[in-house]
Amino acid sequence: MSVEGLVSNSLEDRASTKNLAEQTYRGTFFFMGWDPHFPMKHPATCDSVAICRFKKKLCLKISRSAPVCGTNENRIKREQLNENTAFIDASPLYGSSSKDLHKFRDGTTGFLKMSRFNNQMVLPFDQSKCASKSSCKATFTAGDIRVNLFIGLSSMHILFTREHNRIATALHRLNQHWSGDRIFQETRKIVGAEVQNIVYEEFLPKILGNSMSVHIGPYEGYKPDVDPTISNVFTTAAYRFGHGMLQVE
């Protein structure tokens, strides 16, 4: 698979799922001895310095995904809560909430916010992670907080953000009577359609091969009765295959 294919896998993976950490007495961690606790076993012998240091600790803090209401009760298995939309809707650009949308939209215009860096238009910088505005050069902010995981993923965010603004410019030129809100929403639908086309016409055929026609088949129109939810089995196990395809060199 090409580099673009691997990046597409990472982008769509992060677009579809994001777990919400459960809050406890000290933020997003569980501590042994407190309810709800989640004890973890450790080796009985010290095979390394790290394990010896670990054995001296009285508690082990871990992060755990928040459950969906009603699960983990009455013999109903616990299911994680997905904070992202499960639809292929370019949510890494726009976020999955109204708050995110207002954060990344450029005011009331039809454009997404961008910053100029080395005479190139890039994503806005996350000023909250910077010691000062003058030293903020490497951390981007986008609709998905994992935008900075690796440069390939960041570049895809930049590419589609530029694409949004390119389309918005063209729509404004053709429809100068449109409001900024209509330009933004129409552009957002077009960009979402572009991402869907890449997923179903280029990405999935490469992954599924000849079985594409069996498992997916031709598009037969929107079906409102189909549950679009992403299963935890898929996102936490099956869809990890892309990570295993990454090579050191």
User: 112: closest CA among 95, 128, 130?
Assistant: 95
Q: What whole-number distance in Å separates Cα of residue 101 and Cα of residue 5?
A: 27
Residue 115: enclosing H or E segment and its boundaries?
A: strand 115-117
Identify the DSSP state of 202: I
Report, in angstroms and rounded to the nearest whole number, the Rg of the chain calculated over CA atoms.
22
What is the 8-class DSSP label of residue 117? E
- Binding-site annotation: residue ranges: 243
* 8 A C-beta contact, residue 25 and residue 216: no
Sign of CA dihedral 84, 85, 87, 89: negative
Alpha carbon 23 to its chain centroid, in Å, reads 20
The binding site for heme b comprises 243
